């Protein structure tokens, strides 16, 4: 056997290659079964970036279906609540070009909104409850309904079904609780920070004087 192989190196090489192919093939086949991933992991990652307002502005019934559609090759610029930042994140994840938001699906509003039911006008028809994708509306038939503000995603879906039009979308106003510092305006001279005010040379000379 060894002699034969020594005599015909081509056969030896062939046997070696076929042997390697068989071994790795078996290994890969085993790995494919053993370490099988359930579902599409990229869909989960995309879904993680989407804002989960479940508003359907993208034309899909919820964020997960849109995530699936994106994984299937749909455009990434159909999510107004996610806005430019969301498109940026999706483009980074999927290695795509950043494209501007598709106006057809709505405009980005930086201030989050919360649905509010004018309770004395509510007739208790439960239509908004059925429309709410996150069960954020509380109420029963012929009883007044109300929105649980902390659960509301501001998706707008309850406004249209209301037969008496008693739902308002309230934009969050800036208050002491949600105020935060903003990036300085590079053009403005009205900078609130104090540290930069100091002209070190001038004041130290003052002190020396």
Partner 1 sequence: MRKVFDFHGGIHPPENKQQSLQTPIVKAGIPPLLVLPLSQHIGAPAVPAVAPGDRVLKGQLIGEARGFVSVPLHAPTSGTIEAVEERQIAHPSGHRAPCIVIRSDGLDEWIECRGIEDYTTLDKSDLLQRIRNAGIAGMGGAGFPSAVKLAVQPEKKISTLIINGTECEPYITADDALMRERAEQIVSGAMILRHLVEPEETLLGVEDNKPEAIATLLTAAQGTGLEVVSFPTKYPSGGEKQLIEILTGKQVPSGGLPADIGVVCQNMGSAAAIHDAVVLGRPLISRITTVTGDAIDQPQNFEVLLGTSMAYLLEKAGYRAERNNRLVMGGPMMGFTVPSPDVPVVKTTNCILAPSERELPTPPPAQACIRCGMCAEVCPASLLPQQMFWFAQGKEFDKLEQHNLFDCIECGACSYACPSNIPLVQYYRASKAEILQLRRDHEKSEHSRLRFEARQERLEREEREKAEKRAARKKAAEAKAKQGTANGEAEEDPIQAAIERAKAKKAAQQSAADAQGGSEGEREKLEKAVVSTRKRLDTAIAKLEQAQAEGSDLVEALQTGVDKTRLKLETAETALAALQNSSDSTTAESTSSTDAAQLAIEKAMAARAAEADLSPAEKARADLEKLEQRLEKSRAKLAQSRDAGDEEKIIEALEATVERLAGKVEQARQQLQQAESA
Give the footprint of partner 1 on residues 5-44 (CB under 8 A). none
Q: Exactly one of 52, 56, 96, 159 binds partner 1 (CB under 8 A); which one?
A: 52
Tell me if 176 contacts partner 1 by CB under 8 A. yes
Closest CA to 82 of 103, 51, 42: 51
Tell me if 45 contacts partner 1 by CB under 8 A. no
Q: Name every residue whose Cβ is closer than 8 Å to that of residue 15 and which is 6 or more positions away in sequence.
A: 5
168: left (phi over 0), alpha (psi -120 to 50) or beta: beta
Return the number of the residue (5 or 127) whose C-beta is nearest partner 1.
Answer: 127
Return the number of the residue (36 or 180) whose C-beta is nearest partner 1.
Answer: 180
Q: Exactly one of 26, 29, 30, 203 binds partner 1 (CB under 8 A); which one?
A: 203
Tokens 């903003």 belong to which residue? Answer: 182
Choose the binding region for partner 1 from 9-17, 19-27, 98-106, 128-136 (rule: CB under 8 A): 128-136
Tell me if 174 contacts partner 1 by CB under 8 A. yes
Give the footprint of partner 1 on residues 57-116 (CB under 8 A). 62-64, 85
SS3 letters across the chain: CHHHHHHCHHHHHHHHHHHHHHHHHHHHHHHHHHCCCCCCHHHHHHHHHCCCCCCCCCCCCCHHHHHHHHHCCCCCCCCCCCHHHHHHHHHHHHCCCCCCCCHHHCCCCCCCEEEEECCCCCCCCCHHHHHCCCCCEECCCCCCCEECCCCCCCCCCCCCCCCCCCEEEEECCCCCCCCCCCCCCCCCCCCCCCHHHCCHHHHHHHHHC
Q: Exactly one of 12, 42, 91, 125 binds partner 1 (CB under 8 A); which one?
A: 125
Tell me, residue by residue from 139 to 158, as one string, x for binding to partner 1 by CB under 8 A and - for no binding.
------------x-x-----
| Least distance (Å) between residue 105 CB and partner 1 | 18
Tell me if 195 contacts partner 1 by CB under 8 A. yes
| Least distance (Å) between residue 76 CB and partner 1 | 17
| Least distance (Å) between residue 10 CB and partner 1 | 55
CA gap 123, 141 in Å, rounded: 9
Contact residues for partner 1 (CB under 8 A)? 47, 50-54, 62-64, 85, 125, 127, 130, 133-136, 151, 153, 161, 163, 174-176, 179-184, 186-187, 189, 191-200, 202-204, 206-207
């Amino acid at each position: 056997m060894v002699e034969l192989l020594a005599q015909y190196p081509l056969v030896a090489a062939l046997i070696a290659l076929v042997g390697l192919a068989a071994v790795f093939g078996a290994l890969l086949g085993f790995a494919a079964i053993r370490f099988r991933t359930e579902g599409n992991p990229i869909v989960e990652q995309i879904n993680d970036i989407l804002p989960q307002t479940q508003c359907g502005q993208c034309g899909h019934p919820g964020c997960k279906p849109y995530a699936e559609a994106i994984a299937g090759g749909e455009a990434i610029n159909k999510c107004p609540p996610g806005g430019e930042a969301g498109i940026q994140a999706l483009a980074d994840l999927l290695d795509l070009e950043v494209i501007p938001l598709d106006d057809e699906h709505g405009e980005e509003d930086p201030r989050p909104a919360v649905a509010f039911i004018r309770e004395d006008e509510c007739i208790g028809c439960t239509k908004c409850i059925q429309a709410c994708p996150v069960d954020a509306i509380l109420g029963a038939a012929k009883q007044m309904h109300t929105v649980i503000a902390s659960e509301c995603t501001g998706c707008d879906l309850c406004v249209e079904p209301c037969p008496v039009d008693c739902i308002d979308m309230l934009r969050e106003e800036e208050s002491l609780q949600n105020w935060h510092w903003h990036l300085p305006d590079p053009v403005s001279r009205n900078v609130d920070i104090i540290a930069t005010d100091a002209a070190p040379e001038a004041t130290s000379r003052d002190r020396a004087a």
